[in-house]
A and B are shown apart, each in its own frame.
Chain A
Amino acid sequence: MHGFDEANIKKNKFEIVVIGGSAGSFPVVSRMLEKLNPAFKLPIVMCLHRLKDKREGFKEALEIKSVLPVVEPNDKDLIEPGKVFIAPANYHLLIETKERFGLATTELIQYSRPSIDVLFDSCADVFMDKALSIVLSGANKDGAFGVKRIKKKGGFVMVQDLEECSMTTMPEAAINAAKPDMILPSMKILEYLNCL
């Protein structure tokens, strides 16, 4: 029914899902959040490139279809299951501990703040092999360093199938930087998540 070999699904292995993409991946993300199992039990943390001076609207737009609440965390907010967290405009979002987020206004990384590299790197440090990372369509190389670090700490890397991506620079860079565990179209990634 889900099309995955049971043996391939690392049930109960992961404690967090981190997702990166550029603004162009918004429709894909929106659709994934619409089709996600409402009982999905891991915290989902996303870094999508966005305009730095538009504080409002992004979270609200994602929330329209999402089956789970979408939250832009404040500094030191709790990392909780059953929620989708997105990096706020003009801040880097970091995993500070297994329980809490951190934020930073430090320099742009790969021309981006929020940066996927910063999120994934901090996630690798804290969650090690319990992290599942996903890189979607995007127009620059942000995220490649991040998945390399996730991989190095024993975490899991999924990349959106290039055939399906509107912009391939980001997933391509991720594929070159870290041999991904899986390369799949977005709806297959979603199916995988729903099997966890």
Chain B
Amino acid sequence: MFPSYNDFETEIEPEELRKLTDAVLTKYGYDFGNYAQSSFKRRVIVVLRKHGIKSMDVLIQKIIHDPIFFEQFIHDITVNTTEMFRDPTFFKALKTLVFPVLNTRSEFNIWHSACSTGEEVVSLAILLKEENLLHRAKVYATDINHSVLKKAESGRFPLRNLDLYTQNYNNTDPKGKLSDYYKIVDNEIVFHRELIEHVRFKHHDLAVDHQFFKFDLILCRNVMIYFNQKLQNRVFELLHASLFLNGFLALGAKESLIWCKIADKFESVSDHEKIYKKVKL
């Protein structure tokens, strides 16, 4: 069982977090300095607990001198909660509000930013295939974490989640059955290669990396919640720059653009599902 931070008595002061993020930035170029304090502190506590590390200084020394430990740290500190068709009503809204627009184009580009282990990449591919749009899509899937990208590329997911995924899929008004798209091999759900063979998986850190392409649709769901407002503003500018005019941006169910500086450059397509359209350059 993954340790939780309950009953963990060590206090972490903001200055100690700053020392940690400075050290990581200097040594490895990852910038966690503008992650949301409240949840970032809790992630750090989880790491300390997991490795039985008693003080921040020890953690910093370990990170600086052990790149393999650092990869593990990145994995633990980032949040990789995801599921197939998470929020089925969101996927229904994509089909009714966004797909018809994509359908007017001979080809279109999609970016799954912070794709984690790829559950959403496969979910969207299935729906695009059902609407006969998949062959026209150029898809990028990126994440800050190399190990989850590798998993995403495999197109394999743990079998234990199959009931939930099937139920979610059935709630998207699908045209087929989820079982049309996978085989079960060695306790894993193995999705058909054609769903992800066209996807380019790529390392990208929203906190420091730049625009690399232009898109018709960007999914960035439940990522912004881990950033403070300064970093949110940076990322929204990056996403805005990465969208074609009239391109769509999809956020998580409880995320919103209203507090960001460039909110007026977007228009809401669905308030409930947090789908926005870029209406100004």
Decide if A195 is an interface residue (CB 8 Å cutoff).
no
Decide if A33 is an interface residue (CB 8 Å cutoff).
no
The size class of the interface chain B forms with chain A is 20 to 34
Decide if A128 is an interface residue (CB 8 Å cutoff).
no
A97 to B228, CA, bound (A): 10
Q: Which of B4, B254, B259 contacts A91 (CB 8 A)?
A: B254
Residue among B6, B37, B232 with the most chain A CB within 10 A? B6
**What is the interface of chain B, defined by CB distance below 8 A to chain A?**
2, 4-7, 36-39, 41-43, 79, 81, 87, 89, 222, 224-226, 228-229, 232, 252-256, 258-259
Q: Which of B81, B256, B258 contacts A106 (CB 8 A)?
A: B81
Decide if B6 touches A145 in the complex (CB within 8 Å). Answer: yes
A105 to B83, CA, bound (A): 11
Decide if B39 touches A117 in the complex (CB within 8 Å). Answer: no
Pairs across A and B, CB under 8 Å, 15 listed: A55-B89, A77-B256, A91-B254, A94-B39, A96-B37, A103-B225, A103-B254, A104-B79, A105-B222, A106-B39, A106-B81, A121-B5, A125-B38, A126-B38, A145-B7
The size class of the interface chain A forms with chain B is 20 to 34
A73 to B41, CA, bound (A): 21
> Which residues of B have CB within 8 Å of A171?
none
Decide if A55 touches B253 in the complex (CB within 8 Å). Answer: yes
> Which residues of A have CB within 8 Å of B5?
109, 121
**What is the interface of chain A, defined by CB distance below 8 A to chain B?**
55, 72-77, 88, 91-92, 94-97, 100, 102-107, 109-110, 117-118, 121-122, 125-126, 145
Decide if A75 touches B39 in the complex (CB within 8 Å). Answer: no
